[in-house]
Amino acid sequence: MEKDIIVISDLHLSEGIEKDTGKISRNEDFFFDNEFSKFIDYLITQKDKSWNLIINGDFFDFLQVIITDKNKPTKKNKHYELKIDDKVFKLRESEREFGLGTNEEKSILKMRVIAEGHREFFKALYRFLIKGNTLSIIKGNHDVELHWDGVKEEFKNQVVISSLDTEKKDIENIRNIKIMLKDENIENIEKKIIFYPWIYYDSGIYIEHGNQYEKGNSFEYFLQPTLPKPKENEIYLPLGSFFTRYLFNKIEAITPFADNIKPVTNYIVWILRNKLFYLWKIIDKYVFLLVNVLKKTRNFTEEQMKKIKDTHEKKLHKLSQILNLEKSKLMEIDNMKEIPILKSKSRVLIIMCKELFFGFIFFILTGLLFYYFWLYLKPLRQLLIFLILTLIYFLPSIINSFIKPFKKYYLRDKAKSIYDCLGEKVKYIVFGHLHDPDIFKISKDCYYYNTSTWTTVFNEEEQMIRERVQFPFLHIPTNKKPKLLCWNNNTGEPELLKLFEE
């Protein structure tokens, strides 16, 4: 039976619920295990239907897994030790504060923590897969750790482990369980889970996450996203990831949905426009971020990057065969990516200081205004103070009119370029990453969709979380036009996603 496709994206599963206390991690953005579970059960119970669920990037948010209090690492001289599964992980002080590094071993550990914090979600996946449906997972910028084979393995194992109803899932048991299940379920399930390192392309349907088209979150070599030697065991993170690690994770209380600002490099401008009075609280953290990013940025030479480039190209070649897409076309799409900001120190400095500059200009201007009026216009002081306060109150909207708005629809333009490259055989182009749902007609018979996010949506204009959390998904039936729908958890039925005309 041919499968209907369901595309969802940007779930950002992180540490989730702590088993002992039932509390949710501070950095968690996904609170909807139950809703997802109900959605999956709806899919399973549809008669004569078989599904391919495609999770289009940022399924997991490895960057927001900190693992500190949960597993209580012990201090040993200059580092910390974290003992899990007979393995001892050595953590640097900074890893304890900002999150574990990105090597394979630590990424596996993070995968396990995510699964433990979202058991209901994983259980639902198991129910889905055991019915013969397929799960396709496309890599994004918050789960680029899916590059590691060990992480993919761990994900598969965690899905199987979740099927067990036993509460005692201590590590010793898990090993035995895996051995025990080996012949029965693991292999069946494993075949039903497919990982895509970049693009899904089949029968005129083109799907990718979209981070490659934003310079703050793009990877120069997405198919081999690692640092060059001698750090080839670690991920070469983009600038946006450092924003999450050093800034957003620290200030989620002030701007809980800071992760939604795209491009991330507009953060200070965004604060100026929307959260003016928090500016002073954020500037020192921003400077801290800038210093750390500069420390981490090295201008690698072409010689140093050669091996990574070669591996990337080899994988590109292989991918073109798997997707049945000409290599030249795949290379053309690869070349549409934005060059990552982190490629050069001077670029980081210019882009990030430009942001700081806006902040400082604001401070200096208000200071000067006060000073000037206070000194020279004595009789009118009270009136002037009133006027100045009024001015400050309206400043965000004044600044707003001067700073050009973010280019919200850049993914539409890229979708158009991809259509031009692939030609008329591509019918639907689907992205995520933006956290904003979108439908756009590219040509007579090609449409662009953005599947948005399942996390709470932060509405910039209204300055509040939209009252109702939306669970958007794209349904692509076989041989019928796709529909951008929304899971309604109250009625237990999908409904049309409400999108306004521009």
Alpha carbon of residue 246 to chain centroid = 16
Question: Contact region for Mn ion (CB under 5 A) — 55-63, 169-177, 246-254, 258-266?
Answer: 55-63
| Minimum distance, C-beta of residue 434 to Mn ion, in the bound complex (Å) | 8
Residues contacting residue 469 through CB under 8 Å, at least 6 positions apart: 32, 454, 456, 457
Say how far apart CA 34 and CA 121 lie, in whole Å: 7
Burial of 341 (0-12, 13-18, 19+ CB in 10 A): buried
User: What is the separation, in whole angstroms, between the first and last Cα of the chain?
Assistant: 39
Nearer to Mn ion, 12 or 273 (CB): 12
User: Does the footprint of Mn ion cover residue 140 (CB under 5 A)?
Assistant: yes
Contact indicator for 52, 2 with CB cutoff of 8 Å: no
Instruction: Give the side-chain half-sphere CA count within 13 A for 467.
Output: 0
| Minimum distance, C-beta of residue 19 to Mn ion, in the bound complex (Å) | 28
| Minimum distance, C-beta of residue 62 to Mn ion, in the bound complex (Å) | 12
Nearer to Mn ion, 80 or 221 (CB): 221
Helix axes 267-274, 279-296, angle to 10 degrees: 180
Question: Contact region for Mn ion (CB under 5 A) — 36-44, 167-175, 339-347, 429-437?
Answer: 429-437
Site string for Mn ion, 211-240 (x = CB under 5 A): x-----------------------------
Assigned token pair, 143 = 């789960």
| Minimum distance, C-beta of residue 259 to Mn ion, in the bound complex (Å) | 9
User: Does the footprint of Mn ion cover residue 433 (CB under 5 A)?
Assistant: yes
Residues contacting residue 489 through CB under 8 Å, at least 6 positions apart: 35, 38, 39, 471
Query: 205: which strand partners?
Result: 202, 428
User: Does the footprint of Mn ion cover residue 58 (CB under 5 A)?
Assistant: yes
Say how far apart CA 208 and CA 8 lie, in whole Å: 11
User: Does the footprint of Mn ion cover residue 141 (CB under 5 A)?
Assistant: yes
Q: How many residues bind Mn ion (CB under 5 A)?
A: 5
| Minimum distance, C-beta of residue 142 to Mn ion, in the bound complex (Å) | 6
| Minimum distance, C-beta of residue 170 to Mn ion, in the bound complex (Å) | 34
Question: Contact region for Mn ion (CB under 5 A) — 51-59, 188-196, 420-428, 434-442?
Answer: 51-59
Say how far apart CA 188 and CA 185 lie, in whole Å: 5
Point out the residue whose Cβ comes nearest to Mn ion. 433
User: Does the footprint of Mn ion cover residue 263 (CB under 5 A)?
Assistant: no
Question: Contact region for Mn ion (CB under 5 A) — 54-62, 254-262, 446-454, 455-463?
Answer: 54-62
Nearer to Mn ion, 140 or 437 (CB): 140
Nearer to Mn ion, 210 or 359 (CB): 210
DSSP-based three-state secondary structure for 136 = strand
Nearer to Mn ion, 8 or 17 (CB): 8
Question: Contact region for Mn ion (CB under 5 A) — 58-66, 152-160, 299-307, 418-426?
Answer: 58-66
From 274, 217, 218, 259, select the one nearest 403 (Cα to Cα). Answer: 274
Nearer to Mn ion, 123 or 245 (CB): 245
Q: Tell me which residues touch Mn ion (CB under 5 A).
A: 58, 140-141, 211, 433
